[in-house]
Structure formats: C-alpha cells, structure tokens
C-alpha cells in the first residue's frame, strides 16, 4: 500500500473512532426520555440499518446482493460482535462500574492482535505489543479506574467485561473476512440488519405516542443511528479494508479520548494530570503502530 493510502486508512479509522466517542451525547438525551440502555442499543442498530438499507437501495442496489453461504460473516459482525458485546458491556457496567467496564472493553485490541495472528497471519511484533500496553495504561488513567475496592469487585462482572472486549474484537475479525469479497457498505449494512433481527424482539422496546410526538426523541434517534453508528462503522470499515486488523483496532482507541474531551466540553468536567498523561499514552500508541522502520518496512 502506498504511503498516501496508508495515511487515508488511518484517517478513516480516527474519524470513525471519534464518532463512536460522541455516542454519549445521544445516549444521555435518550436516557432522559425514559429509554433503557438496551433499548437505546436497539434504537441504534435499527435506526442505522433502516438508513443504510434505504441509502444503498437507492445509490447502489447491487451492493445488497450477498450469497447466503456468506451470511456467517454478517452473523459474526452483527450478532456475535455488536449484539454480544453490547449485552456484555451493559452487564459489566451493572456488575462492576462504568470505568472498569470501559477498560475491559478496550482489551479488544489485544484480542484482535491475537486473533489476527491466528486467522490472517498478521505478525505480532514488539511494536504492536508496546502499543497495546500504552493503550491499556492510557485508558486506565483516562477513565480514572483507580482506586479499586477489591472487596466489592464482581468476578462475574470481570468475566463478562472481558467478554465485551472479545465481542468488540470480533467485528474486526469477521469484518476483515467479509471485506475480502464485499464492499464496506455491504458489510456494515448487513451487520446492522442482522443485529436488528436479534435485538428487536428481545429488547422490550416500546415507544409511547407522546415520545413519537417529541422532536427531541426523533432527532436523537436519527443522530444516534447516523453519526456514531452508520457513518462511524462505515469509516472504520473503510480503514479496516486498507490496513491490518490489529493496527486498525489499536488506532481506534482514540474513542475514549474523544469521549473524555466531550465530557470536558459539554458537561464541564475537569481533567486531572493523570487523565492528560493517559491521553498522551493513547496518542503515543496510535503513533507507534504507524511508524515504519528504516527502509519503509512496518513492524
């Protein structure tokens, strides 16, 4: 891949991850309207799938054609990844705490690096391992995990939290496999379609007539379905189609950094020195996975 294409791939990943980072704005607004966390996830995947199907059907209907034998890839991205990691993540939040749940979710890049080595033969280099460690330490500082009260930790919560990281990683693995044959728009469209099929009958989603009349509800549903969902996944998947799965997943850890900065901007939160150091760790990890050795060979 040329250097310009490589830069473009990381720009796609960064933009996608940054859009993931703004999801809290829509989630907070919908929570105030009476929706539960799992119902909000359902609104997210259904909203995104409707938008994507309509857009692709109008712009490039041929992209909606898939072989049934390839459905497993989309079951993987939609159900094994999106649905499973959402359930595991919200369960972890209930069992332990949001801060620790976020850190466990961001074990995802480590799972991606290992699984990519197994399934795609991607090298597990010292540079990637160093970037993973920087990412983990950075996230710990940014999300303010410490101090931890060990007596109150739920081991079940830890287990499902790690499961959320594993489910998060599966998108990069199944998505990379699907991208060998299908356009990124096809991949993300069927990701959300399969996720919607599972979540609609299980989420207990109900919308009252009063909520249907609320412009705020509809604006947040549309915003949630488009910005941190359809558009974010499209940009990340475009980047994923151009670089290694492991590198893309590590680069995408700018998401908690963006979420933290939004907290400062919208909710007047104050950053501690440790959070600032954590942000520098995350940015260092992102830069580290892009650096080439002499001769243009990437570690």
63-101 confidence digits (pLDDT tens)? 999 999 999 999 999 999 999 998 998 888 788 766 677
The predicted pLDDT at position 1 comes to: 55
Query: By C-alpha distance, which of 298, 279, 277 is closest to 289?
Result: 298
- Average pLDDT over the chain, rounded to an integer: 86
Contact 33, 207 (CB under 8 A): no
H/E element, 210 = helix 209-212
Q: Do 125 and 276 touch, CB atoms closer than 8 A?
A: no
Contacts 24+ apart (CB under 8 A), 119-124: 119/173, 119/177, 120/176, 120/244, 120/245, 122/244, 122/245, 122/246, 123/299, 124/246
Q: What is the pLDDT of residues 99-108, one digit of tens each?
A: 677 778 888 8
Question: Predicted confidence band at 141 (pLDDT cuts at 50, 70, 90)?
Answer: confident
What's the rounded Cα separation, in Å, for the pair 217 and 248? 33
Whole-number pLDDT of residue 147: 52
What confidence score (pLDDT) does residue 152 get? 58
CA 277 to chain CA centroid, nearest Å:
23
Q: Is the pLDDT of residue 272 over 60?
A: yes
Average pLDDT of 49-59? 97
- In sequence order, what are the residues at sequence separation of 6 or more whose Cβ sits closer than 8 angstroms to the Cβ of residue 167? 80, 81, 82, 84, 85, 86, 88
Domain extent listing, the chain: 3-288
pLDDT band of 279, cuts 50, 70, 90: confident
How buried is 158 (Cβ within 10 angstroms: 0-12 exposed, 13-18 middle, 19+ buried)? middle
Global confidence as pTM: 0.86
Look at residue 268 in the predicted model and tell me its pLDDT.
Answer: 74
How far CA 219 is from CA of 30, 103, 215, 224, in Å, comes to 10, 30, 6, 8
Query: What's the confidence (pLDDT) of residue 202?
Result: 87
């Amino acid at each position: 891949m040329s250097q310009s294409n490589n830069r473009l791939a990381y720009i796609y990943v960064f933009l996608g991850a940054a859009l993931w980072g703004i999801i809290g704005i829509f989630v907070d607004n919908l929570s105030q309207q009476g929706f539960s966390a799992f119902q909000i996830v359902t609104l997210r995947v259904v909203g995104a799938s409707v938008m994507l199907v309509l857009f692709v059907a109008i712009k490039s209907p041929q992209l909606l054609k898939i072989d049934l034998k390839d459905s497993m890839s989309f079951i993987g991205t939609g159900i094994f990844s999106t649905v499973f990691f959402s359930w595991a993540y919200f369960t972890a939040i209930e069992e332990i705490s949001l801060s620790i749940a976020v850190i466990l979710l961001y074990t995802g890049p480590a799972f991606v690096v290992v699984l990519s080595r197994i399934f795609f033969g991607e090298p597990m280099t010292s540079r990637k391992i160093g970037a993973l460690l920087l990412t983990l330490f950075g996230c710990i500082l940014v999300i303010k995990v410490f101090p931890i009260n060990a007596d109150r930790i739920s081991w079940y919560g830890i287990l499902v939290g790690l499961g959320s990281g594993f489910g998060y990683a599966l998108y990069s693995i199944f998505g990379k496999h699907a991208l060998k044959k299908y356009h990124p728009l096809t991949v993300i469209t069927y990701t959300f379609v399969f996720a919607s099929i599972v979540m609609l009958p299980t989420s207990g989603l109900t919308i009252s007539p009063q909520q249907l009349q609320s412009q705020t509800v509809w604006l947040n549903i549309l915003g949630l379905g488009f910005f941190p969902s359809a558009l974010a996944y499209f940009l990340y998947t475009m980047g994923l189609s151009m670089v290694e799965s492991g590198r893309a997943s590590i680069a995408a850890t700018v998401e908690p950094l963006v979420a933290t900065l939004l907290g400062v901007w919208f909710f007047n939160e104050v950053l501690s020195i440790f959070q600032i150091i954590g942000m520098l760790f995350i940015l260092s990890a992102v830069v580290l996975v892009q650096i080439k050795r002499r001769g243009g060979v990437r570690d």
